[in-house]
Amino acid sequence: MDLESLKQKVIDGDAKGVTALTQQALDEGIAAQSILNDVLIPGMGVVGELFEKNEYFVPELLLAARAMYSALDLLRPRLQAGDYKPAGKAIVGTVQGDLHDIGKKLVMIMLEGNGYEVVDLGTDVPAERFAEAVKEGSGQLVGLSALLTTTLPAMEKAVHAIREADPTGKVKVIIGGAPVTQAFADSIGADGYGRDATAAVTLARKLIGDA
Amino acid sequence: MPSPKPERPVRVTLEGMGLEIEVNPGISLFEAVRKAGLAIDSDCAGKGTCGQCRVHFLENVPPAKAEDELLLSPEEVADGWRLACQAFPQSDCRILIPQATPQARRRKIRVLTTAVEEELAHSPAQRTTATGYGVAIDVGTTTVVCYLMDLSRSLQVGVSAFANPQKAFGPDVISRITYAHRSPRELRELQHRLTAAIERNLVALCAERKIAPESVSAMTVVGNMTMMHIFRGVDPWSLGVAPYEPVFLESPPLAGRELGFHRFAGAQVQVLPGIGGHLGSDIVAGVLALDLPHRPGVSLFMDLGTNGEVVLCSGSILAGVSCAAGPAFEGVHIHSGMAAFPGAVERVDEVDGTLRLDTIEGAEPIGLCGSGLADAVVLLVRRGILLRSGRFVAPDQVPPEVPADLRRRVQEDGEGRRFLLHKNGERGDIVLMQRDIREVQLAKAPMRAGVEVLLNECGLAAAEIEAVYVAGAFGSSIRSESLLALGVVPESVRGRIHAVGNTAGLGARLALTSPEHLAEAGELARSIRHVDLVLRDDFREAFAENIPFP
């Protein structure tokens, strides 16, 4: 079958089409891992580029994500049965005091769309909860999100708690959100700042590598 | 790379103002200018994210920072433009602050008057036993309006409107909350800046009307929840962190002196009660002014200013939401955006195939305010230059029927697609960038989503809404057609939209002049149910659904 058309359907956000073509590809004996690596990830890469160029916006990104997840649902059991390893594992959450999660959701989509496994701690997450997740070894990367200036101090607290939980500094912390800047990231000792969801992927690749 | 620090203060000449200031090492130009008591525009309070504080270095240009490269064009950077908040002058220099030129300083604030106010003015005077004078104050995040009333006759004798001096600490409530929370000193500073500005303007108004300030015996004050807290000197921090709750809803009557007034030390000050969350007494006053519960059928009240608030009313059922709409319609985060001051483009039309811009007071166009921004976007969507998704079409994909004057304005370069509205304005070209359209979409979608959630909450359908009353600075200047075309309100309310002006100020005057209305404000504040949007799935869905244009 034509895997290009499956990729295009991901980009177009056609969930039904993606489900049908993914099933067809699996039926034809194409490996789940190659559907993921050769179709879904490059497809979401294109989506990310379009988003970064402002050609795509939140609704298009959400539609593409829905299409991607409908394929992932079919692939996951097979990936888990095989010796598939994700590109990396990330923990994400909106810091304490902040209930806004659209930015975090977009970051999750872009990370998962690029082969990372993501543990979502939700919104209004206390610093201790991030630290616990790090101690439990849930990820090599932590993404912190904040929408309000008022919750920036909570972000700083979370970074400190993560550092305490991981004195070797193996776990990397990236931050983002409307009030966050590179200067703020530097001042609280975060490993990276991303302007948007696609920047999170670039940072993840740089900081914890790629499969 | 850290910049080498100068050892002594440098002298910066402010061109065109006949002023010189000293800038100490480690202090940004932005801070130094502000410390000198001069205003400099900023939407991000100097964090280097908004690009509003651009200044022109005429000599000894400091090195460009990443923020400069990001927010200014390469030509501007090469020409010596820098963000004041990122500039740390290394040696004596001369700069030009574009916003501080004499034309920009002659700003006047228009006070909204509408049919509803006319109604009030012509209604028979309330019977009252009060004597002396009173003041009704509407404290907006951006603008403060004071109405001086003759209490014995319930007659308005003067009005004074001025910019909220807290604007220097950020354009939105969140930045004010952040500043106020730093320490009790900063909280007092915010409170006193406001009360001092009110006092100064009121004393001037009293002098004009030959009234002794001491004869002002009463004040009623309305505002959003953050303004209510800061006015009373109460730390608004809990409004800024989850679950975003106020410290108080109702306020006892206070003496003017407790709030920092001197000439009005003896006046009794009543802050009207708020509803909950960020829904403050300005919304209570609006509902009171419109007498919403006694209007037949289902009605919707929208206050569109720096924040967007919506109240749905069906007889005795009242529910309200506060939408984090984002300040795009205040001109914030918009490339050529500005507040509604002279020179702001407030109308954009296509007339006989050419683009026509109308500015406030007919001044030379400087930038776009909310209503002009809305008009422009609506025109571009109607002409197919913007797709429903909000994406600009490529210059060679403009539909064939679009007239040449509009067509040539659709441009594309390395930075993306844009629409040129006006060439060579005071601050450079007035353009609409692709990312501006995205800001508009992010501002309008939550307002509509708020309407949808209220309809869900009350079990009503959009078609049942019989009247939409639109208040607030932006709400009063935007065309009804634009509200429909942007999708802020559902298509079914076409022909049922009424601009009602500053209802908050009207309600404050009613509560000032009549005890019945004051009591009613208390009842309303308790009966309007505050619906919290942030954790609702139906809000998220409606938000995403309403990002495209209808």
Phi, psi for residue A178 in degrees, rounded to 5: -50, -45
3-class DSSP state of B173: helix
Provide the whole-model pTM.
0.81
| pLDDT higher than 70, residue B217 | yes
- Alpha helices for B258-369 (secondary structure H): 281-290
Q: Is B94 exposed, middle or buried (0-12, 13-18, 19+ CB in 10 A)?
A: middle
Cβ-based neighbours of B39, under 8 Å, separated by 6 or more: B99, B100, B168
Domain boundary among A34, A61, A81: A81
Specify the CATH number for the domain of residue A62: 1.10.1240.10
My answer on whether A58 and A145 are in the same domain is no
DSSP B86: G
Looking at residue A2, its amino acid is D
> Which residue range is the domain that position A133 belongs to?
88-208
My answer on whether A35 and A66 are in the same domain is yes
**pLDDT tens digits along B235-280:** 999 999 999 999 999 999 999 999 999 999 999 999 999 999 999 9
3-class DSSP state of B381: helix
My answer on whether A106 and A59 are in the same domain is no
My answer on whether A97 and A146 are in the same domain is yes
| pLDDT higher than 70, residue B99 | no
| pLDDT higher than 60, residue B123 | no
pLDDT value of residue B51? 76
Using CA atoms, how far apart are residues B138 and B224, in angstroms rounded to an integer?
9
Q: Contacts of residue A96 in chain B, CB cutoff 8 Å?
A: 241-242
CA nearest to A63 within chain B: B544
Using CA atoms, how far apart are residues B407 and B419, in angstroms rounded to an integer?
9
B48 with A181: Cβ contact below 8 A: yes
Specify the CATH number for the domain of residue A119: 3.40.50.280
B157 touches chain A (CB under 8 A): no
Its ipTM equals 0.86
B131: left (phi over 0), alpha (psi -120 to 50) or beta: beta
Which domains are assigned to chain B?
10-105 (3.10.20.30), 125-281 (3.30.420.480), 287-327+439-505+530-545 (3.30.420.40), 328-435 (no CATH)
My answer on whether A181 and A113 are in the same domain is yes
pLDDT value of residue A146? 95
Q: Contacts of residue B66 in chain A, CB cutoff 8 Å?
A: 182
Using CA atoms, how far apart are residues B270 and A187, in angstroms rounded to an integer?
43
Option in A54, A62, A181 nearest B544 (CB): A62
Q: How confident is the model at residue B37 (pLDDT cuts 50, 70, 90)?
A: low
My answer on whether A76 and A97 are in the same domain is no
Q: Contacts of residue A183 in chain B, CB cutoff 8 Å?
A: 47-48
A179 touches chain B (CB under 8 A): yes
Domains in chain A, number: 2
Q: How confident is the model at residue B7 (pLDDT cuts 50, 70, 90)?
A: low
Average pLDDT on A183-206 reads 94
Q: Contacts of residue A102 in chain B, CB cutoff 8 Å?
A: 540, 543
Option in B175, B434, B543 nearest A149 (CB): B175
My answer on whether A126 and A158 are in the same domain is yes
Q: How confident is the model at residue B115 (pLDDT cuts 50, 70, 90)?
A: very low
My answer on whether A95 and A158 are in the same domain is yes
Give B115's Cβ-side CA count (13 Å radius). Answer: 6
Q: What angle do CA A53, A57, A60 make, to 5 degrees?
A: 120
Distances (CA, A) of B90 to B14, B32, B65: 16, 14, 14
Angle between helices A58-81 and B537-545 (to 10 degrees): 120
Span of A93-107, A164-178, B128-142, B221-235 with lowest mean pLDDT = B128-142
My answer on whether A61 and A107 are in the same domain is no
Q: How confident is the model at residue B116 (pLDDT cuts 50, 70, 90)?
A: very low
Domain boundary among A20, A47, A81: A81
Instruction: Identify the bridge partners of residue A92 per DSSP, sorted by sequence position.
Output: A120, A143
CA nearest to B391 within chain A: A55
My answer on whether A34 and A137 are in the same domain is no
My answer on whether A196 and A147 are in the same domain is yes
Least Cα distance to B367 among B120, B41, B6 occurs for B41
B391 with A99: Cβ contact below 8 A: no
Q: Contacts of residue A151 in chain B, CB cutoff 8 Å?
A: 240-241
My answer on whether A63 and A93 are in the same domain is no
Domain boundary among A30, A59, A81: A81
Average pLDDT on B159-166 reads 93
Span of A183-197, B8-22, B374-388, B497-511 with lowest mean pLDDT = B8-22
**pLDDT tens digits along B390-415:** 999 999 999 999 999 999 999 998 88
**pLDDT tens digits along A131-164:** 999 999 999 999 999 999 999 999 999 999 999 9
